[in-house]
Amino acid sequence: MFPPPADLIPHRPPFLFVDAIVSENDDTLVARRLWRADEPFYQGHYPGAPITPGVLLCEALFQTGALYMTRKMPQIAGALPILARIENVRFRAPVFPGETTFIEARKKETVGAFVLMSGSIRNAKNERVLSADFAVTIRPKS
C-alpha cells in the first residue's frame, strides 16, 4: 500500500491532480487520477461538451514526477519540487469528465540539482493521451 499523494507533495485540492500511486520501481512511478465530472473547471472549459484542460493533464504528470522524487530521494523530505523545464509535449487524445487516467513519470538522469524526466498519460483503454519531457529541481521551504 502506498501513502496518499497529499502526504508526499505540497499540493492540495483543488490543485492536487493525482489520486493514488499505483506502482513504482527504481526509475518509474505510476499514479492514477479520476477526472470527476463535478470539478469546477469543466463548467467553463467547453461548456456543454467539456474536456479536461491540457494544462491540468500536464500538471498531473508533473505532480507524478514530484511524487517519484519524494519516494526515491528521501533526503528532500520537506522541500518543494519546482518545475524547471517542459519540452516535447504532445497531446494525442482528449480526456473527458468521468475518465480515469494512468500517469507515468520516468527518471532519465540527474544533472546537478535537476532531475530530468519523461512521462506519459494513458486512459483506461491504454491509449496514450499525452507525452512530455520535463525537469524538476528541489527548493528548500523558507
Class of domain 5-139 (CATH, top level): alpha beta
56: which DSSP letter? Answer: H
Q: Who contacts 121 (Cβ-Cβ below 8 Å, separation ≥6)?
A: 57, 60, 61, 95, 101, 102, 103, 104, 128, 129, 130, 131
Residue ranges per domain, the chain? 5-139
**pLDDT tens by residue, 13-27:** 999 999 999 999 999
* Each residue's pLDDT tens digit, 53-96: 999 999 999 999 999 998 998 777 778 889 999 999 999 999 99
Q: Report pLDDT for 3.
A: 94
Residue 45: active-site member: yes
DSSP type of residue 79 = P
Strand locations in the chain, DSSP E? 20-24, 28-34, 80-91, 100-111, 114-123, 128-139
- Looking at 45, 59, 89, 116, which residue is catalytic? 45
Q: Summarize pLDDT for 105-136 with one digit per residue, the tens.
A: 999 999 988 999 999 999 999 999 999 999 99
Q: Would residue 8 be called left, alpha or beta, if left means φ above 0 and alpha means ψ between -120 and 50 degrees?
A: alpha
- CA-wise closest residue to 92 among 125, 43, 135: 125
